[in-house]
Amino acid sequence: MRDGFIKAAAAAPLIEVADCIHNSEQILTLIKTMEQNGAGIMVFPELCLTGYTCRDLFFQNTLLDSAKERLIWLAHQTEAVDGLIVVGLPFEVEGKLYNTAAFLNRGKILGIVPKTHLPNSDGYNEARQFAPAPKNVKLVCIDGEEIPFGAKLLFACDEMKSLVLGCEICEDLWAPESPGIRLAKAGATILVNPAAGAEITARAKARRALLKTTSSKLLCGYVYASAGEGESTTDGVYAGHSLICESGEVLAETRRFTNETIYADIDVKKILSDRRKTMTFPAAGSEGFTVCRFSLELKETRLSRRFDPFPFVPEEEEERKERCGEILMIQAMALKKRLSHAHSDTAVLGISGGLDSTLALLVSAQACDLLGRDRSSILAVTMPCFGTTDRTYNNACELAKSLGTTFMEVDIKNAVSGHFRDIGHDPKTRDVTYENSQARERTQVLMDLANRFNGLVVGTGDLSELALGWATYNGDHMSMYGVNGSIPKTLIRHIVRFYADTCEDKKLSELLLDILDTPVSPELLPPKDGEIAQKTEDLVGPYELHDFFLFYMLRAGYEPAKILRVAQIAFRGRYDRTVILKWLKTFYRRFFTQQFKRSCMPDGPKVGTVSLSPRGDLSMPSDANAGIWLREIEQLEEA
């Protein structure tokens, strides 16, 4: 439960229809296994104590009494179990029969939730046996205790305030206004669903899509446990298709027709972080709901959840290709609009032979195609200086020519040397003045060329550089429109590779692959033996780490200790704890001290969920103090 993680489990026991003793024993066996595997939330299918397919046997007092007796037995048997257990059973209240889910914790029955929406499809009319949930919560007596009964129940954990559960049952999920909506608005961060439904073709795909959409829309965890083998096959087959989702992502899913148990770590703190940032999430408060409190031991959840080391990059190849093509189009459409609106005849770019300027040039070429302009209206400028190597220089020249742009070379060595004389700087002193003078000279050249040719300077800086402030203020930091500003370095590589893989020009493709193979560098220091002397990642750290830190800090709302914890999982075998902490400290220090550069960054299109634009995505004072974050990291270093 540390860091807001809670392990949830969903299982379909191998039942015998109408044999409550057998079924409860099967459930208890699974509960013990779930507890051994660290599950704090344990969800079983709809009507699992009796079997969903009992039909008119539900009218038999013998069956109803047995289900109630075995529920009490199960509660007593799980008195020492550290978990919240959800089981389905038929339950009679005031002469009406209900399809319900009972919540158990430490030997107590906390509450019973009845189903609200009864299906009349797939050959099963539940209204024949059951009544829909009453409007109000009432008290019922079970084993000498008064237990809340109703659809408006919330189950809140004493030790983890952010852990609040709500329940809807099977068909409730498919209703136009499902109970889960009001439960989430009332504060439920996780919804559980004991379910059953005969499997028909294409139903699994629809179920998966609905659960992803529901958990995304409601910003919640969702645990769906579906009845499987053991149910009657008189009119259908039950596949045991269970899923655990979180905010639109499937964390775990059973194979169908297997009666598997699945586990997943739900990040409740991330859910609350997303809700805080989403002003459209209609938090309505818990007024009108009955809150049932339960207890779990406050212990560290053994994480089995996978954390992608490249959270900005889709893992599946087809999705990755689709994402790269989509981003290119967003960038090109954005630049097309800006060039048209500004009545600019020319797109002016500084090209270095590096990744960022390469992508910006590819985007500019596509924007010209969309405008119906010749690519010669792009002015690609290379500005060699003290640190330029033959490899990057030649790649820049060849790229500009291959794309059919107008190419210009402006050697800035003399201009920068003259500037050193003007300000009294010794060029032998290879300090920040030496480096930044080159970057600012390049920007001046581009801006003045844009004036000369009625153009617009297209910026090349990316999201990773903006996060770290790895740009010269009023140098490469500045442009008239920044097309790469919301794309992290780890993703830029894939977009350029996508272009290389899909373009018809073999020579251009080979050129792009060589650019991809070139070390990332600002090339502001003289080469050593003709090779790049200044490698960015040696100075500020691996971009794959910084992109990971950025995603989990801004998108997921993680604190440094939690980022360290998941980074150790994501990068196991590649970076150890000491290395991760070193660059995490660098990340936080630079992120805070460099905000002033982001406060005046140029316009540019947003392409993903993380952006640093001061015009809506990141409203942050330039002089904010990073002290509390850095102190937390220092404590981690000492631990």
Compute the residue count for the chain.
639
Decide if 58 contacts 90 (C-beta within 8 A): yes
- Identify which of 56, 67, 60 has the alpha carbon closest to the alpha carbon of residue 15: 67
For β-strands 346-350 and 455-459, DSSP reports them as parallel
Packing angle, helices 489-502 and 543-550, rounded to 10: 110
CA dist 355 and 516 (Å) reads 7
Show the tokens assigned to 330: 């967003």
- From 419, 439, 557, select the one nearest 3 (Cα to Cα): 557
Sheet holding 481-482, edge to edge: 406-409, 378-382, 346-350, 455-459, 481-482
Between β-strands 190-195 and 138-142, what pairing exists: parallel, antiparallel or unpaired?
unpaired
- DSSP assignment, residue 600? T
Residue written as token pair 């797109």: 347
- Contact of 463 with 550, CB cutoff 8 Å: yes
Residue 209 and residue 483: Cα distance in Å, rounded? 33
Q: Which residues contact 77 (CB under 8 A, 6 or more apart)?
A: 28
Query: Can 315 be counted among the known catalytic residues?
Result: no
Q: Which residue has the tokens 């992290």?
A: 488
**β-sheet bridge partners, residue 550:** none
Pairing of strands 249-253, 243-246: antiparallel
Round to whole Å and give the CA distance between 624 and 335: 33
Annotated active-site residue in 170, 220, 292, 368? 170
Q: How far apart are CA 5 and CA 610, in angstroms?
A: 23
Q: Which helix (H) or strand (E) holds 149?
A: strand 145-149
Does the active-site annotation cover 177? no
In the annotation, is 637 catalytic? no
Tell me how far apart the alpha carbons of residues 550 and 623 are, in angstroms, rounded to a whole number. Answer: 19
DSSP E strands, 416-503: 455-459, 481-482
CA-closest candidate to residue 507, choices 407, 399, 374? 399
Q: Which of 46, 168, 398, 544 is catalytic?
A: 46
The beta-strand segments (E) located in 509-580 are none
What angle separates helix 390-402 from helix 506-516, to the nearest 10 degrees?
150
- What does the alpha-carbon distance between residue 402 and residue 396 come to, in Å, rounded to a whole number? 10
| 3-state DSSP assignment of residue 412 | coil
What is the rounded end-to-end Cα distance, in angstroms, of the chain?
Answer: 20
Residue type (1 letter), 181: I
Q: Which two tokens stand for residue 119?
A: 């299906």
* 7, 108, 115, 212: the active-site residue: 115
Query: Could you give the residue numbers annotated as active site?
Result: 46, 115, 170
